[in-house]
Chain A
Amino acid sequence: MTGSTAQDLASWWGVHEFPANRWVQWEIGPLRLSVLRRPREWRIAWRSDGDRLDPVCRRSDDNVEPPTLENDDIRRYIGQGEDNRLEFVPRLADRPVVVNPDIPVFLPPGEKTTLYVSTAAWLRLAEPDGSMLTEIPVYRPSDTWFGPNTREGEIAYASRTSARTSLDELTVLHHRVITPVRIDNRGVDALLVEQLRIPVPALTLYEIEGQGLWTGTVAFTRREGDNTATLQIQDGRELPGPDPRQLAPPRVPVERNAVVHAFSRIFS
């Protein structure tokens, strides 16, 4: 693809217009998304084989190489609509994400900290009247299992993280969503955080001007005397930056600021 009219964009979400009978390609981080508008038909093709930390966000209208069945997932969506516009909506993962810090993190007793972890965004394609065509992960994370043993637990997505503790160290990538994780260790010994389950489907997605995609804070409080934890999900009021704008509601309805669940193995 030569991309003579390729545009580098600040963000990829919103309503976009597509010319008839011509492939248009979007590069969003590791995702290559091609869209073709034909009479009463959308053709959507994608592949996600790029570098998952690639910051690219670009639209190319000309000289786009048509996708092939060998390299891409191609689907046709047929309907009666004549509208040439599609809405790109960022969404969060459809399962919880289990985050493993690169280096084991210890939190001494009585300490609190906030870690910033990022997870892959999903892209929801919908017609402006609201009818959804499909949802595509910008990057398909690996499956993982979260539970006390191989009989009880749940399937989740796995993610590696640098678990940064400072906002200044964060790199804004428009295809990843940052979640602040506040951990309060009220136990009697140091807490080893080597595996953290983020209930991503229960989080709200926000956009912060110039700082990309964020979710509300997830707060884990390790109880005194045992190894269980309570989990609280907070809204966007505590996020850095002025006036976070809500982009997508939680996939799973959750009462805000309520104790959602207590797990025996939030921390392993």
Chain B
Amino acid sequence: MAFPPEWWNMEFAGLLLRALALAAAGLFAGRLLGRFLYRITRPGMGEHGAVTLRRLAFYGIVVITTMAVMRELGFSLSVLLGAAGILTVALGFASQTSASNLVSGIFLVAESPFRIGDVITVGSLTGEVLSIDLLSVKLRTFNNLYVRVPNETLIKSEITNLTRFPIRRLDLKLGVAYKEQIGRVRDLLIATADDNPLCLDHPRPLVIFQGFGESSLDLQFSVWAKRENFLAVLNSLPEAIKQTFDDNGIEIPFPHRSLYTGSVTDPFPVTLVESRPPAEDDSAPSI
């Protein structure tokens, strides 16, 4: 093959150069516009809104630039769109997963169940949302791991947003011995919450009777806390409850087992063994 080929001439080289310059200028303009929009909208719209707007602006400019470059190269847009339709079908079959993630990403952005900076739980994973991209969402877990969750997984899964509302309720399950008065236990628990300045005064702390357990009266103690103080309350409250119960002689029971051999069998034989009094020289140090 001769080089340069027949179709290569100065006119085509100029055309290609112009198209490349146009593409570069378009990408640069898109990036510049995105950054500008991010900077001016961040104070008002927050990180999430500003990032979304930056991406929309950038992708919009990229689409316009692509069309302009194609036109510059002499392609007809109507033919291109027809070809794009066929290409989309082909691509759809070839990359079903990516396409699914892409569509899921669009739905996620539209539905907005969480924003950048929120803490979410997806399945067994809990972490802070770092970015919401077209194909996936990036999370930082609390043990500082970077996790990429495909958008399709998010659309199909149950997502819990832990930071959507400013206050959270902490539910502590606890049991007290059957001999205790539930009313007294309730008053002590409420007083413990009232003594902790991080527990909210309103909504009021709540003690819910959960049932007669195997070895204990089961209660649920629910207190509200500011979202940022949730972990501090989760750590400090059980300690305070234990101290209050100890101070007031409230027993936290461990499981009790009664052995019963049934009515038709003989009872367990029990032998009493007389304990040996300590020998006088027991305390003497051995030589």
Task: Report which A residues bind B (CB closer than 8 A).
Answer: 98, 100, 140-146, 150-151, 153-155, 158, 195
Contacts and interface: CB of A to CB of B under 8 A. Distances in A.
Which of A145, A146, A153 lies at the interface centre, i.e. has the most chain B CB atoms within 10 A of its CB? A145
A153 B225 CA distance: 14
Contacts of A151: 165
A154 B167 CA distance: 9
Nearest to A144: B201
A140 B200 contact: no
Given A150-B165, A155-B166, A142 B194 contact: yes
Contacts of A100: 201
Contacts of B96: none
Nearest to B166: A155
Given A140-B197, A142-B197, A155-B226, A195 B202 contact: yes
B197 A145 contact: no
A202 B196 CA distance: 27
A145 B202 contact: yes
A143 B166 contact: no
B194 to A, nearest CB: 7
Closest 3 CB pairs of A and B: A158-B201, A144-B201, A142-B197
Interface residues of B, number: 16
Given A150-B167, A153-B166, A155-B226, A144 B197 contact: no
A142 B201 contact: yes
B197 A143 contact: yes
Contacts of B203: 145, 150
A143 B226 contact: yes
Contacts of B202: 98, 144-146, 158, 195
A158 B199 CA distance: 11
A142 B193 CA distance: 10
Nearest to B227: A155
A211 B149 CA distance: 63
Contacts of B165: 150-151
Nearest to B168: A150
A153 to B, nearest CB: 7
B198 interface: yes
Contacts of B200: 142-145, 158
A149 B224 CA distance: 13
Contacts of B243: none
A130 B225 CA distance: 35
A146 B166 CA distance: 11
Contacts of A144: 200-202
A211 to B, nearest CB: 28
